Amino acid sequence: MDYENKHVLVVGLARSGVAAAQLLAQHRAIVTVNDSKTAADLGEALAPLRGLPVTWKLGCPAMDCLEGQDVLVISPGIPDKATFVVKAREMGIYVIGELELAYQLSRGQMVAVTGTNGKTTTVSLLQEIFANSGKRAFAVGNIGYPYSLAAMESKPDDVMVCECSSFQMETVDTFHPLVAVLTNITEDHLNRHGTMAEYTRLKMRMFENQRAEDTAVFNLDDPALAPLPAQVRSRVMFFSRKREVERGAFVRDGVVTVRGDHGETPILPAAEIYIPGPHNLENALAAVCVAWAMGMPAEVIAETLRTFRGVEHRIEFTRELDGVRYYNDSKGTNVDSTIRAVQTMTRPTAIILGGSDKHCDFTPLVKEMLASPYMREAVLIGVTADQIEDTLRREGFTAIHREGSMQAAVERCRALAQPGWNVLLSPACASFDMFHDYEERGRVFKQIVRNL
């Protein structure tokens, strides 16, 4: 789509909204930016827009800004069923999200990753594989770096590795990855999407514009995904850490192996993958499928898997003090993600749980904690502390402590933990009750731990 001289309203001036306005200005659109917050509230977040030819409509409702607009670009935090979004569509305004806008205006090849868990690790791993293969690669989207910023400098030979959230999939239109992977689906974001069926439908939108020559990658070990491959037009690859697959990546006799159209290729022993845990083996297998489908050399894939150190806030080792190891898993924002962190622990562990409510059931997590020989103490914080405590007690886990701040929770864990233990922050909840986002929560945790 050509945006030159189109009247475009950008609503929501967090990172993605600001980047979308920059990209539109680069393409000579007539840009209006809107946020319910004032300029004073937004502060330095607006700095990239200063000096650009944009009209400011701050501290007022988006509904007041719709008249005369051709296009509405909304941030992922705005539901596509918001009243002003519905009204815009009724007025004939073309409604998209920042992700769709960036896709339309970027160059290069694009691969995409979605799923409840594993997205960020898989995207970061793929970016490193492509970079180690000599490509200029950008990790964009829900990972925290707006796709629009990468689009502004993209070139035809670049690779865009895009992390896609269900929120972003609400407003895609022409979005078309050459290779797309669905890591898994478990209960999450029901406070926004309402049902698992709707959540799954949005995840599957990532594949809807793929063609027969494209590739769709699915986790064969996740039963929730079983009916989904039949819904895509593209060629299907599977990954599995439990069994061999006809086309895709698997583990045989301890060796990661990929099977394609022209036979099998061993990649490396699974034990040589640097990032720990069964969930990270799944992430590695997903990345192998994508990289192989994109023609990356086996030796580059193997060396990257040996050296990739993981991502910040995902079971991130922070410090060892008095024989106790502290791990930041602030990106554990849902039950299944924290289950994976629990499964990775191999020492007695005190876990910090709790945050804002996403209307999820904590029972599977508590059962996993009870099944683990290592989960000894639970320290609860945040809005969901009551709900988590009720679930813990109902299932028979009674080593429970309540604290009112992250500082107090870390100090309580330090008092509880003995030499040879772990302290794990993996809240199983979003962060918005106490922090701006999971990144801030993780940084605060790490700073407190470093100051002990």
Mean pLDDT by 10 residues, the chain (452 residues): 96 95 98 96 93 96 97 93 96 97 97 93 96 96 92 97 94 97 82 84 96 98 95 98 97 97 94 91 97 97 95 89 96 91 94 92 96 97 96 97 97 97 97 92 97 96
* CA dist., res. 120 & res. 436, Å (int): 19
The confidence score (pLDDT) of residue 188 equals 67
The confidence score (pLDDT) of residue 360 equals 85
Q: What is the CATH number of the domain that holds 426?
A: 3.90.190.20
* CA dist., res. 109 & res. 168, Å (int): 19
Q: What is the CATH number of the domain that holds 148?
A: 3.40.1190.10
What are 208's two structure tokens? Answer: 């809807």
The confidence score (pLDDT) of residue 340 equals 87
**Strand pairing class (159-163; 324-328):** unpaired
Where among 97, 118, 146 does a domain terminate?
Answer: 97
pLDDT in tens, 222-266: 999 999 999 999 999 999 999 999 999 999 999 999 999 889 999
Is 1 within a domain? no
The confidence score (pLDDT) of residue 190 equals 66
pLDDT in tens, 195-212: 889 999 999 999 999 999
Question: What are the start-end ranges of the H helices in 230-375?
Answer: 278-293, 298-307, 335-344, 363-371
Where among 251, 277, 307 does a domain terminate?
Answer: 307
* CA dist., res. 112 & res. 33, Å (int): 28
Is 128 within a domain? yes
Residues 289 and 366 placed together within one structural domain of the fold? no
Enter the pTM of the model: 0.81
Where among 30, 64, 97 does a domain terminate?
Answer: 97
The confidence score (pLDDT) of residue 359 equals 84
Residues 239 and 273 placed together within one structural domain of the fold? yes
Q: Please, what is the Cα angle at 293 between 291 and 299, to 5 degrees? A: 45
179 CB neighbour count, 10 Å cutoff: 25
Structural domain boundaries enclosing 59? 7-97
**Strand pairing class (255-260; 263-269):** antiparallel
Residues 208 and 256 placed together within one structural domain of the fold? yes
* CA dist., res. 170 & res. 301, Å (int): 33
Specify the DSSP element, H or E, that contains 196.
helix 196-204
Q: Is 434 left (phi over 0), alpha (psi -120 to 50) or beta?
A: alpha
CA distance between the termini of the chain: 54
* CA dist., res. 137 & res. 212, Å (int): 25
* CA dist., res. 427 & res. 387, Å (int): 13
Is 2 within a domain? no
Is 328 within a domain? yes
Q: Is 97 within 8 Å of 76 (Cβ atoms)?
A: yes
Is 188 within a domain? yes
Residues 424 and 407 placed together within one structural domain of the fold? yes
How many domains does the chain contain in total? 3
Specify the DSSP element, H or E, that contains 239.
strand 235-240
